[in-house]
Amino acid sequence: MGQLNTSVIGYPRIGYNREWKKALEQYWGGKTSSAQLETELNRIEAERLTTLVDAKLSYVPVQDYTWYDHVLDTAVMFDIIPERFRHEFADQLDTLKSSQSDAAGTPQAIIDVTFGMARGTAQSTACEMTKWFNTNYHYIVPEWEGRAPELLYNHPVAAVRRAKQAGSVDVSVWKPVLVGPYTFVRLMKGIAAADRAAVAKQFAVVYGEVLVALAAEGVTNVQLDEPGFVLPMNKEEWVAVKEIYTYLRAQSPSLSIWVQTYFESVSDYESFVELPVDVLGLDLVHGKARNLEAIQKLGFPADKRIALGVIDGRNIWKTDLAAVTELLTQYVKPQVPAERWIVQPSCSLLHVPLTLSSETELPEYVRTILTGADEKLVELELLAQHLANPTADTEAGIAASAQAVAEWRSLPERNRPQVKEELLRIQSSEEAWTRVPFSERLALHQARWSNLPLLPTTSIGSLPQTAEVRKARLKFRKGEWSEAAYTAYLQAEMKRWIDIQEQIGIDVLVHGEFERTDMVEYFGEKLEGFVFTKNGWVQSYGSRCVKPPVLYGDVAFVEAMTVVETEYAQSLTSKPVKGMLTGPVTILNWSFVRDDISREEAAYQLSWALRQEIQALEEAGIGMIQVDEPAVKEGMPLHPDDKQGYREWTVKAFRLTTSGVKPETQVHTHMCYCDFSDMVDLIREMDADVISVETARSGGDIVEVFAKHQYELGIGLGVYDIHSPRIPATAEMASFIESVLQVMPARTFWINPDCGLKTRNEQETIAALSNMVKAAQQAREHLTTKNT
């Protein structure tokens, strides 16, 4: 065979040194002009194009790049601009629409509207952002206001023109990438499920215009991303999808149209393969079993090519290329000959760091098993060579990858038999997973904290992380400060804030989490089983990047992680101080996790370690312990058949973490920024004595949800949004509390902000918490007058 086709779905945007982030932030900070911004962003775009071309891919994505977010770009491209921005930028948009100019450079109107929608302006609130499927990438949520779409600015054509300017490559290898019409509509806000099919059809014409224009640029391939196809869809939607693609096919006969799915198996394989397009892309890493089964059972159309996602685009471990070779030859080849394959990573490489080859400070045995985007490109090239023309060299390369993965599995440095044994031992012990019934615990808690008023006030854990706090931590980390100096600083800060909280009149205090850079990293650094990269950044939203911890081995508790600070804070006050931990599922969902054991097992290992921390806190006399689980919802599998299993093991992981405590210890948990409507049963099963949830930011809808489910355990509803510098008035919070008490019993009700306060400044925090305490007092008075 001559050559095996390869491609990638997308590639990181941020540049090797996060230059992308810097360029954007300088521009937003008013330090550079839009021309300077454009020059720098185009330079990064050209650089990544060169990397991809040098990787000898058969097809190279263009326009998977963006200045902020690809969903936002799609919205602007099709004039799905919310009325508030349309109004604010009316003059600029009018000029843009009336000018026929084809001038190079992104029009200022497009730049302003794009950043306006993403970040908000003085006049208009930003569009919401939310997680892109089950990843930690956040997209800007387009808002459907019923206006017919129009092609306002052809982003892909602009990208192709820039690529022409930057490189000498043959246009026939370029593959502009667009969010597909169904997925775009599926992710939009303001469309009832029943109307989705009809709205999607309204987009056929504008997508057609883009494709026609691309064909006119000499482009021969275009990729339409439809990860929406992995979600449950009804027949009517599939009919609409077929209609749209039939139209697009007819509009651009010279284009090879690719429809790409990822993150899970396609929800209706039969309908999918019937689409009148040229290339169909399937994820054979996430959703592998179901996709392979469908290919085997139902075959694959002879007139289409198949894009096979075989290298994990979402995780950072080296691929066993021998296993991939076998998978392809055994399961795919009998149905589709290799001439019709395109081999690629499972999804855009945007979800992994650009490279991990320069993490020289990591132990050799970890470093060599890590792969960032660039290392995955190398794997892909070797795989393709081997599949097309195996030689002794490729054979050796493939065997080496299999051997490296096998050795990694059994490496003593990451296997802790004792942890596995302990977990096996407790599997069968009922006690390890359950506490005495809530009603019994509640009586003990009421006796233990008989001083607590009705509607006790508290906060979620972190207090303002000022520049000074961050500087202190940095000095300690760099060795400029001794441990003693750093401890003294932390103690002073804790003392100051314990005093402030007492003055404000809060009932249950927190130590403030000043010692933590990040709620996951802090624990990862203290537990065995994690490593941290220096430069393993991935985009989270807009210019914001995160550096997820790497969970590479069996987890073990080494020594107490939070006791010193909590104990110190408690020594300063007679009021209860809550201990603060990050829960097992959140640690898991915000890390890169080993893939040689199940996530469930990895979660239990974390639970077991955290359980020992809780025990240490209890021994130090801490009576209330909060285990935060803000990331439970986002780890929910996309496929309906997998959801129940996930629910079960996340509940078990929480219970394993917390059920070792004495009945008189009060367990708290916290969750935020997700749709709670289908979470109440799960939360109840977690069996925490008190859950604090974010309420204010999401408009209080959640109150009804909890009221409807007659939630009987303790609950703290967030009474103000912590993302805004705005100081909520007492009356506003009081009336919110009143309205909640109409539908929920006061008996187990707590009062708190929506989430941690680390991003707020001191002044705002004091003012807001003071008003919150006053609002609670008013509500209490009201309750007593009502009852007398």
Catalytic residue set: 723
Q: Is 718 among the residues that bind Zn ion (CB under 5 A)?
A: no
Listed ranges 378-386, 455-463, 539-547, 761-769: which one lies at the site for ligand GLN (CB under 6 A): 455-463
Spatial distance between the Cα atoms of 653 and 632, rounded to a whole number of angstroms: 11
- In the list 349, 388, 460, 494, the residue contacting ligand GLN (rule: CB under 6 A) is 460
Spatial distance between the Cα atoms of 603 and 625, rounded to a whole number of angstroms: 19
Residues 656-675 that bind Zn ion (CB under 5 A): 672
Shortest spacing between CB 458 and Zn ion, in angstroms: 13
- Which of ligand GLN, Zn ion, none lies near 494, with the C-beta cut-off 5 to 8 A by kind? none
Q: Is 755 among the residues that bind ligand GLN (CB under 6 A)?
A: yes
Residues with Cβ within 8 Å of 783's Cβ and at least 6 positions away in sequence, in order, are 454, 455, 741, 746
Q: Which of 313/630 has CB closer to ligand GLN?
A: 630
Q: Is 716 among the residues that bind Zn ion (CB under 5 A)?
A: no
Spatial distance between the Cα atoms of 16 and 487, rounded to a whole number of angstroms: 35
Q: Which of 513/567 has CB closer to ligand GLN?
A: 513
- Which of Zn ion, ligand GLN, none lies near 462, with the C-beta cut-off 5 to 8 A by kind? ligand GLN
**Paired tokens of 379:** 């794997």
* CA dist list (Å): 483 to 143, 211, 434, 559: 51, 62, 39, 17
Q: Which of 459/659 has CB closer to ligand GLN?
A: 459
Listed ranges 236-244, 319-327, 644-652, 751-759: which one lies at the site for ligand GLN (CB under 6 A): 751-759
Shortest spacing between CB 755 and Zn ion, in angstroms: 3
**Paired tokens of 561:** 């992680």
Q: Measuring CA to CA, which residue among 639, 504, 509, 643 is closest to residue 572?
A: 509
Shortest spacing between CB 528 and ligand GLN, in angstroms: 23
Return the number of other C-beta atoms located less than 10 Å from residue 33's C-beta.
10
Listed ranges 63-71, 268-276, 417-425, 456-464: which one lies at the site for ligand GLN (CB under 6 A): 456-464
Q: Which helix (H) or strand (E) holds 349?
A: none
CB 149 within 8 A of CB 202: yes
- In the list 755, 768, 772, 779, the residue contacting Zn ion (rule: CB under 5 A) is 755
Residues 580-639 that bind Zn ion (CB under 5 A): 630
Q: Is 494 among the residues that bind ligand GLN (CB under 6 A)?
A: no
Listed ranges 338-346, 569-577, 754-762, 777-785: which one lies at the site for ligand GLN (CB under 6 A): 754-762
Q: Is 684 among the residues that bind ligand GLN (CB under 6 A)?
A: no
CB 747 within 8 A of CB 441: no
Q: Which of 372/718 has CB closer to Zn ion?
A: 718
Side by side, the strands of the sheet bearing 279-283 are 5-6, 341-345, 305-311, 279-283, 256-260, 221-225, 174-179, 60-62
The three-state secondary structure class of 616 is helix
Q: Is 508 among the residues that bind ligand GLN (CB under 6 A)?
A: no
Q: Which helix (H) or strand (E) holds 666?
A: strand 666-671
Q: Measuring CA to CA, which residue among 188, 185, 159, 186 is closest to residue 171?
A: 159
What single-letter amino acid sits at 604? Y
Residues 473-492 that bind ligand GLN (CB under 6 A): none
Residues 510-549 that bind ligand GLN (CB under 6 A): 513, 519
Q: Is 628 among the residues that bind ligand GLN (CB under 6 A)?
A: yes
Q: Measuring CA to CA, which residue among 227, 148, 244, 249 is closest to residue 183?
A: 227
Q: Is 57 among the residues that bind ligand GLN (CB under 6 A)?
A: no
Spatial distance between the Cα atoms of 740 and 703, rounded to a whole number of angstroms: 7
Q: Is 758 among the residues that bind ligand GLN (CB under 6 A)?
A: yes
Q: Which of 311/460 has CB closer to ligand GLN?
A: 460
- 221: which strand partners? 256
Q: Which helix (H) or strand (E) holds 674?
A: none
Interface map 630-669 toward ligand GLN (x if CB under 6 A): x---------------------------------------
CB 122 within 8 A of CB 55: no
Helix axes 108-119, 70-77, angle to 10 degrees: 130
- In the list 354, 672, 702, 719, the residue contacting ligand GLN (rule: CB under 6 A) is 672
Q: Is 580 among the residues that bind ligand GLN (CB under 6 A)?
A: yes
- In the list 70, 670, 684, 760, the residue contacting ligand GLN (rule: CB under 6 A) is 670
Shortest spacing between CB 630 and Zn ion, in angstroms: 5
Spatial distance between the Cα atoms of 160 and 632, rounded to a whole number of angstroms: 40
**What residues line the site for ligand GLN (CB under 6 A)?**
460-462, 513, 519, 580, 628, 630, 670, 672, 755-756, 758
**What residues line the site for Zn ion (CB under 5 A)?**
630, 672, 755
